[in-house]
Chain A
């Protein structure tokens, strides 16, 4: 119940942060996708099942405030939570650097799916989207995710999320 309330509050808080506050800190009109970052972090810290479920909830609710398709948000955000959880089990310890690389790959993959799903977009538009939206956003997501993990580590005074921490 405690977890449910925590995740519920987190999802509700994400909407105003993503739609109202983040546009103020956008660089070149690009803001990080906090939904994807949070889903991936939960996948890493709490496991793939929770990552998937929270990612799906975030994807669904953020989609209410986006012109995009519902399926795309569900698949990319839910998938980020799931695959972050699965990938986290393949490394001995999760450091901000490792998370940076993982988030970069996940965000690029999600962006690529989104661009490829734009049926009316010409090649020029798709290429422009990759260059000026998908790649910068992936870098932004990776930096924000790594920063959040670093802060989380410092807050808990825990050096690293090693295998023993996660599986004990």
Chain B
């Protein structure tokens, strides 16, 4: 009953209102400094929160696994899981082969073709979803202490998942491809036209700024262009479903379905450095050990 009987005095009310006004003033007048001050404590607090988060997450995953493996037809579920994994790998391989074939056709005349180095990657598990409904993001169980930094690309063997936007010592937040605040440089695999892939609120994505003369059509696949950091060239993003050509517009826009089912993603790979970035930043990827579990 103590909570019910506590009475706030006028002094407490004035103090609360004053604190809130001060907070608003600090956030509006000095946004960088005030948020930076709080972010300084993110690391230790993140480590503290990691314990209950991972405990609940492991229980949740245990229950999910038990349900899938024992309750809902053990053998079928196992077989299905293996087939899905294999299909994801094959999709990735197929995509790389398509990209390699297209590149070979275009570059046969070039004698000095510089082979793209494989990026170093860290495997991570999805342990949660965005704490609000306003953003489409997932929480990973790896953070700064595992070498994950902001703006790193996140993929599965099937294709692009999103980009790291926030990290603590032990966790990181990945903004998904389908979030309207995300933008990734994309390339139509068949026509080689470039554009920007942005999320749309309905859970899909769109490719913007396609030239009007482009012969893009439904069913075309979109891959990363590799022009902007985070992702190497040729990773699958999605398949075009509808094309919007408005009269008088400068560009076409195409809606696409992501290659990865972002509602069910459980394990991901974080790209630590692509070839270009590793040279610039001094981070040296280890080609022998592509994935660090």
Considering only residues 121-155 of chain A, those with a C-beta below 8 Å from chain B are 121, 125, 128-129, 132-133, 137
Which chain A residue shows the least CB distance to B168? A64
Chain B 190-222 near chain A by CB (<8 Å), digits 1 or 0: 000000000011110000000000000000000
Looking at chain A's contact residues, is the secondary structure mostly helix, strand, loop, or mixed? helix
Contact B13 A48 (CB under 8 A): yes
Contact A49 B8 (CB under 8 A): yes
Given A49-B15, A74-B23, A114-B134, are A12 and B48 also a contact pair (CB < 8 Å)? yes
Residue A4 interfacial (CB < 8 Å): no
Which chain A residue shows the least CB distance to B163? A67
Contact A48 B8 (CB under 8 A): yes
Contact A68 B201 (CB under 8 A): no
Given A16-B53, A165-B5, are A137 and B133 also a contact pair (CB < 8 Å)? yes
Neighbouring A residues of B173 by C-beta, 8 Å:
64-67
Contact B1 A48 (CB under 8 A): no
Q: Which of B123-131, B240-248, B274-282 contacts A (4 or more CB under 8 A)?
A: B123-131
CA distance A75 to B34 in the complex (A): 13
Contact A68 B53 (CB under 8 A): no
Contact A52 B24 (CB under 8 A): no
Determine which residue in B23, B56, B132, B137 has the highest number of CB atoms from chain A within 10 A of its CB, and name it: B132
Neighbouring A residues of B19 by C-beta, 8 Å:
52
CA distance A109 to B185 in the complex (A): 35
Q: Which of B38-46, B74-82, B104-112 contacts A (4 or more CB under 8 A)?
A: B38-46
Contact B38 A70 (CB under 8 A): yes
Neighbouring A residues of B114 by C-beta, 8 Å:
none
Residue B73 interfacial (CB < 8 Å): no
Residue A13 interfacial (CB < 8 Å): yes
Given A67-B173, A67-B179, A125-B201, are A23 and B129 also a contact pair (CB < 8 Å)? yes
Given A66-B132, A70-B35, A133-B133, are A15 and B53 also a contact pair (CB < 8 Å)? yes
Neighbouring B residues of A161 by C-beta, 8 Å:
4
Residue B288 interfacial (CB < 8 Å): no
Contact A67 B175 (CB under 8 A): yes
Contact B166 A64 (CB under 8 A): yes
Neighbouring A residues of B127 by C-beta, 8 Å:
19-20
CA distance A117 to B66 in the complex (A): 42
Given A19-B128, A168-B5, are A79 and B15 also a contact pair (CB < 8 Å)? no
Contact B168 A49 (CB under 8 A): no
Residue A86 interfacial (CB < 8 Å): yes
Determine which of B57, B171, B180 lies in contact with A120 in the assembled complex, contact meaning CB atoms within 8 Å: B180
Determine which residue in A51, A69, A74, A158 has the highest number of CB atoms from chain B within 10 A of its CB, and name it: A74
Residue B227 interfacial (CB < 8 Å): no
CA distance A45 to B6 in the complex (A): 8
Residue A85 interfacial (CB < 8 Å): yes
Residue A97 interfacial (CB < 8 Å): no
Contact B38 A167 (CB under 8 A): no
Contact A66 B52 (CB under 8 A): no
A to B CB contacts below 8 Å, 9 in the list: A13-B52, A49-B8, A52-B16, A64-B45, A65-B139, A67-B179, A70-B35, A85-B16, A86-B13
